[in-house]
Structure 1
């Protein structure tokens, strides 16, 4: 029974110390602007850009899009997943950059290993 009380007390002390540290960090950055919350409008814009990029990838001749994931945030697009060879990575980058509204493309595509 003493072990349970000791563990409970230790947990409470750790939680209290963590909250003090978190408060100190929050107080230091009082001059920093908080991150803007994602509004319904922002989500809709991200979704629309995502669809445009996905459509451009699908229309690109010779590009295998089955394993490509598109994520849009603002005017930045991230490509993730696997493609059969290096030329596919270049095709995907070119197609994504050509979509109106895309300012930057962060490419995390990798070459699919044989047998995967």
Structure 2
């Protein structure tokens, strides 16, 4: 009698393992299909960020009287962050204003510091 109960329990465990394994495979296949779209969006967003960063760097380089040799630009979703150093406060303010004037820029975080001599 004990062996019959043991076999029933073993059969139940096997059935549960098979059911869980089948469910896990079905979930993985649907997850793989939905993961492709965010990856494509992520790639497009990175390209847009790089393009905006290049536009801002180009505008800074064209600005009269602005030393851009120590200024770094990072763009993310329209938000631009300027870091690095500039010779004086006027150039720091000018860099922020130039960056705000670039098409596609929604906000500017100006973290440029005055260069120590």
Shorter-chain TM band: 0.5 to 0.7
Match of 1:74 in 2: 77
How many residue pairs match? The answer is: 79
CA distance in 1, matches of 2:52, 2:94: 18
What does residue range 48-67 of structure 1 map to in structure 2 within 5 Å? 48-67=51-70
Does residue 98 (structure 1) correspond to residue 112 (structure 2)? The answer is no
Point out where structure 2 has 5 or more consecutive residues left out of the alignment. Answer: 1-37
CA distance in 1, matches of 2:65, 2:57: 15
CA distance in 2, matches of 1:97, 1:39: 25
Following superposition, the deviation at residue 39 of structure 1 comes to 1.0
Does residue 86 (structure 1) correspond to residue 92 (structure 2)? The answer is no
TM-score normalised over the length of structure 1: 0.66
Q: Which runs of 4+ in 1 moved over 6 A?
A: none
Point out where structure 1 has 5 or more consecutive residues left out of the alignment. Answer: 1-35
Aligned partner of residue 56 in structure 1, secondary structure:
helix
Please state which structure has a larger fraction of its residues in helix.
Answer: 2
Which one has the largest radius of gyration? 2
- Give the root-mean-square deviation of aligned CA atoms: 1.3
Following superposition, the deviation at residue 59 of structure 1 comes to 0.4
What does residue range 7-22 of structure 1 map to in structure 2 within 5 Å? none
